[in-house]
């Protein structure tokens, strides 16, 4: 809900963001209404000059954005297919869930024969079964789905009795890397120490929901046929002030927790605006895959739809 997010409806206004930084650009933004008030209050030449001075950076931004060449869409965008699907596998028969996903992967590859990577959102699988029974992943190999394919998705992972909100990178049904979420949300994923009491636990952990720990690993990269991506799990993208690395970002987002009300749709739109804001500020392409949006954002804030299997 940063005030600069409003300008994302016209990205050229944020052309100076990566050069001057968010803090300084916010101060420049606040100078505009302040100068308008001074003009209405004092009606003097000095006040008018202050107004012209305040709007000059924004005129400059639009002008420089027009001169700057439009970046062509990267070739790797055509090889990524988004699959915004949540598989409910908290059942006595996880094999049926894995088999169902394998059948859908076959359908994805049939519809998009050029696809090299299928990306699913955060919490695509609501169980740690994939980490405790890794043999199930063999059902997503070439023998079952038709050809080798990269898969990136979010699921729980358990290690030594500790639960992590994890991103999985698979190729041909074999885990290549796991990247544990390094920023966990208060209450929804963990209870902060200053709120850890019986009353809070009865409200947020009474339904046997496991508490998620913060990952301690260094941020890894994903290699999709020669193109490197840095994975971000939901709040890692929104709450990080500085980016890690310089490669394109693969953001797995769970926006299903907001439901389908008008207010919830508004929050989902805000998340997309914030992701576009980060793409400009960090000067990095972002592949954004959630349950409501599957889009690609370039360094200038332009947005394009990903190929999506429904």
pLDDT tens track for 103-118:
999 999 999 999 999 9
Co-location of 84 and 171 in the same domain? yes
Domain that holds residue 265: 75-308
Co-location of 197 and 271 in the same domain? yes
Co-location of 81 and 217 in the same domain? yes
Give the DSSP H or E segment for 273. helix 262-282
pLDDT of residue 179: 92
CA-CA distance, 27 to 7, in Å (whole number)? 14
CATH number of the domain bearing residue 216:
3.60.110.10
- Mark which of 42, 67, 92 sits at the end of a domain: 67
Co-location of 49 and 169 in the same domain? no
CA-CA distance, 253 to 237, in Å (whole number)? 9
Co-location of 33 and 147 in the same domain? no
pLDDT tens-place string over residues 236-279? 999 998 888 889 999 999 988 776 666 778 889 999 999 999 99
Total domain count, the chain: 2
Co-location of 261 and 291 in the same domain? yes
Co-location of 37 and 165 in the same domain? no
CA-CA distance, 149 to 117, in Å (whole number)? 6
Residue 64, Ramachandran bin (φ over 0: left; ψ between -120 and 50: alpha; else beta):
alpha
What residues contact 139, with CB distance under 8 A and at least 6 apart? Answer: 98, 99, 102, 173
Co-location of 118 and 27 in the same domain? no
pTM of the complete model? 0.90
CA-CA distance, 161 to 22, in Å (whole number)? 41
Contact 293, 272 (CB under 8 A): yes
Co-location of 99 and 196 in the same domain? yes
Co-location of 219 and 181 in the same domain? yes
8-17, 55-64, 128-137, 287-296: segment of lowest average pLDDT: 128-137
pLDDT of residue 261: 67
Max intra-chain CA distance, the chain: 78
90 pLDDT band, cuts 50/70/90, is low
Nearest to 79 by CA among 288, 233, 224: 224
Structure-token pair, residue 81: 């297919």
pLDDT tens-place string over residues 164-216? 999 999 999 999 999 999 888 887 778 888 887 888 777 777 665 678 888 87
- Mark which of 38, 67, 96 sits at the end of a domain: 67
Nearest to 107 by CA among 80, 76, 115: 115
- Mark which of 49, 67, 85 sits at the end of a domain: 67
Co-location of 59 and 89 in the same domain? no
Co-location of 22 and 123 in the same domain? no
Instruction: DSSP letter for 87, please.
Output: B
């Amino acid at each position: 809900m940063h005030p600069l997010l409003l300008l994302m409806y016209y990205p050229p206004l944020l052309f100076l963001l990566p050069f001057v930084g968010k803090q300084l650009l916010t101060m420049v933004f606040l100078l505009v209404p302040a100068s308008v008030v001074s003009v209405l209050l004092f009606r003097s030449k000095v006040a008018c000059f202050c107004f012209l001075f305040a709007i000059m950076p924004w005129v400059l931004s639009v002008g420089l954005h027009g001169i700057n060449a439009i970046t062509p869409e990267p070739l790797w965008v055509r090889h990524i297919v988004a699959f915004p699907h949540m598989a409910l596998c908290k059942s006595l028969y996880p094999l049926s869930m894995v088999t169902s996903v394998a059948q859908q992967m076959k359908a994805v590859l049939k519809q998009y024969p050029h696809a090299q990577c299928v990306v699913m959102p955060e919490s695509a699988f609501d169980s740690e079964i994939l980490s405790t029974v890794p043999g199930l992943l063999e059902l997503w190999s070439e023998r079952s789905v038709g050809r080798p394919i990269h898969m990136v998705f979010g699921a729980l992972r358990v290690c030594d009795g500790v639960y992590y909100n994890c991103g999985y990178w698979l190729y041909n049904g074999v885990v290549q890397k796991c990247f544990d979420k390094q920023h966990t949300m208060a209450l929804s994923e963990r209870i902060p120490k200053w709120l850890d009491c019986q009353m809070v636990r009865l409200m947020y952990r009474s339904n046997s929901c496991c508490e998620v720990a913060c990952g301690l690993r260094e941020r890894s990269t994903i290699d999709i046929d020669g193109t490197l991506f840095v994975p971000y799990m939901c709040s890692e993208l929104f709450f990080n002030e500085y980016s890690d690395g310089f490669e394109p970002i693969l953001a797995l987002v769970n926006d299903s927790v907001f439901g389908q009300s008008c207010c919830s749709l508004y929050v989902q739109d805000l998340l997309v605006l914030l992701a576009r804001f980060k793409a400009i500020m960090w000067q990095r392409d972002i592949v954004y895959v959630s349950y409501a949006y599957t889009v690609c954002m370039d360094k200038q804030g332009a947005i394009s739809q990903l190929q999506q299997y429904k």
